[in-house]
Amino acid sequence: MGLYIEARIRADLDDLWARTQEPGSHQRWDLRFTEIDYLPCREGEPRHFRYATRVLPFLTIAGTGVSAGEKRRPDGTRTSALRFACPHPLSLLEEGSGYWRYVPTPDGDIRFLTGYDYRPRWGRCGKIADRAVLRPLMGWATAWSFDRLRLWLERGTTPERALLNAVADVVTRVLLVVAAVVLAPMTALATAALMLMLPPLPTTPAARRCLRTPPARARDPRLLATLAPLAAPKEQHS
Over range 115-119, report the average pLDDT. Answer: 94
pLDDT tens digits for range 147-203: 999 999 999 999 999 999 999 999 999 999 999 999 888 888 998 999 889 999 999
Question: For residue 235, is pLDDT > 50?
Answer: no
Parallel, antiparallel, or unpaired: how do β-strands 93-104 and 110-120 relate?
antiparallel
- Of 84, 92, 87, 88, which is closest to residue 122 (Cα–Cα)? 92
Sign, CA dihedral 4-8-14-18, equals negative
Average pLDDT of the segment spanning 106-130: 94
Note the pTM of the prediction, 2 decimals. Answer: 0.89
pLDDT digits (tens, 9 = 90+) for 219-228: 788 888 888 7
* pLDDT of residue 41 exceeding 80: no
- The pLDDT, as a whole number, for residue 231 is 57
d(CA 125, CA 160): 36
At residue 41, what are phi and psi to the nearest 5 degrees? Answer: -155, 165
Percent of the chain with pLDDT over 90: 70
Three-class secondary structure of residue 222 per DSSP:
helix
Give me the percent of the chain exceeding a pLDDT of 70: 95
Long-range contacts of 217-222 (CB under 8 A, 24+ apart): 218/4, 218/115, 220/81, 220/97, 220/99, 220/115, 221/79, 221/81, 221/99, 221/101
Measured between alpha carbons, how far is 31 from 25 in angstroms, rounded to an integer? 12
What's the rounded Cα separation, in Å, for the pair 128 and 121?
11
Answer yes or no: is pLDDT of 45 > 80: no
